Structure 1
Amino acid sequence: MPVLSGAVTFSRFRSTPAGDPPSDTKRWLSKGLKSGHFEPIDLKKTEDERAAGFVELENSDGTDFSTGSVLYGEYALFGYRVDTVKVPPAVLKAELSKWEKAFEKENGRPPTRGEKSENRASIKHMLRQRAVPFTKVHDVSWNLKTNQVQLWASSRKTVEEILFAIEEAFDVKLQPLVPVSLAAEAGISDEHLVPTPELIGMEISQSEIESSEVSHGDA
C-alpha cells in the first residue's frame, strides 16, 4: 500500500472537469468508482486473461466504496486492481508432451497435427482452470482541493490505462505535472528551460562573461 507507507514511484497530474463541476462530491466519487469497479475473471465463463478496475484502498476485494473507505480528509484514496491469468508456456509444453506419449502408446502412432492442436487447446483450458490469478493493485491519491492526482505505478502503459479509466469514470481531464507543463501554466517560455552551463558541467571563462555583458549592453 504505497500511498500509506511512503513509496516514491508515482506520477502526478492535475484534474480539470470536462463538463460542469460535481455538486455532490461524495455521490460523484461513489458513482465514478462503481462505474469502473473491478470484476474478477470468471475462469469458467470466459477465456479472458486480464481484468482491471477500481477497488477500495485497504480492501483489494472491496467495491462498495462507502465514504469512510474512500475519503481521508481532503483526499480521495482508492486502488486500481489488475488481475492476470496466464498458463506458463513451459508447463503447457510439458503437459502436451505427456499427452503425446500416452496417445502414441495407446494408438500405436503419433498424433496428427490436427489432434495435437485440438488437445493443446483442451490442455491449456484445463491448466487455466487450475491457475491462480496474479494480482497487482496500484494506489491512487486524489486531492480534491488542489485537484492533484498521484498514481503509484512505474509502467507507462499502466499509467496511461489508469488515466483513461479515471477520465472515463469521472468525466475529467488529467494533465501531467511535469516541468514543461508547469512552466507553460506559469507563462515561462521554452528558452528559459534550457539547462545552464553550470548544470551540464561546462565552465564559462571570464572573457566569455564580459563578451556577453558587452553584447547585451549594445543591444
Structure 2
Amino acid sequence: MTYCVGLRLNHGLVFMSDTRTNAGVDNISQYRKMFTWKTPGERVLVMMTAGNLATTQAVVSMLDERTKAPEDRNPSILEVPSMFQAARTVGKVLRDVIADSAPEQGPDAESPFKATIILGGQIKGAPPRLFMIYPEGNFVEASEETPFFQIGETKYGRPILVRAYDPAMSFEAAVKLMMVSFDSTIKANLSVGLPLDLLLYETDSLEVTTERRIEENDAYFNLISDNWGEALKFAFASLPDYKI
C-alpha cells in the first residue's frame, strides 16, 4: 500500500508521499512514488503514484521515453500546451498500460493492475492545477470545494486535513499539517512508512521551491509525532465525561 497527498494552497502546491511497498508482512520494500518533469522557467510537473508497482513504473518509464523522443500521436508532457492536456496524456498512458497488462479486462477499476495518480504543477501562462487520475484514464481537478487529493491508504490521515486545512496557510503550516496526516496513517497502518518525500511548488516560480526526503531519524518529524500524540491525549482528557 502507499499514501500520497497533493494539497492546493492560495500560493502554491504541496506534495508528500511515502516510500513503502509491501506484498505481505515479510516482503517490504522501498520505492520512490514521487516524480518530476520540468523545464526551468517554463513548466514544472509533479506526479505521485499508488497501486500496482509494475503499472506505475511502466507509466513513469513511458512518460520519460516520450520526453526524449516525442511523437505527434504520443505527445510529451514537456510539450503539451496545458496542465489539462498533461493530465489527458498521463491518463491515456495509464489506461493503455493497464489494458496491455490485462487485455481481457481492459482498464477496469477492479483489475489487479490498477493504479491511481496525482498530477500537479504549472505551465507558464496559466495557474497551477492539481488532478487525480483514475485507472480508467479519466480525472478530476482540485477546486475550492475539494482542495486536496489523497491516494492509497487515505482514511487515517484524512480527518486532520479536513479539520485543519486553510487555503491561506503558509508552506510551513502546510508541511506541519501533512506530517500530522502521515504520522496518523503510519501509526495506524503498517503498509505505510518512512522515508517520506516532500515537494513544495510556489505559484509562478516555474521551478521546484523545496524538495527533500524525510528519513526515520528526522528531528522535526519525530517532534511533530511525539507532540501530536500528547496533544491528542490532553484534548481527550479535557472533554467532559459522559454522565451515567
Q: TM-score range by the shorter chain?
A: under 0.3
Larger fraction in strand? 2
**Alignment TM-score, normalising by the size of structure 1:** 0.25
**Alignment TM-score, normalising by the size of structure 2:** 0.24
Larger fraction in helix? 1
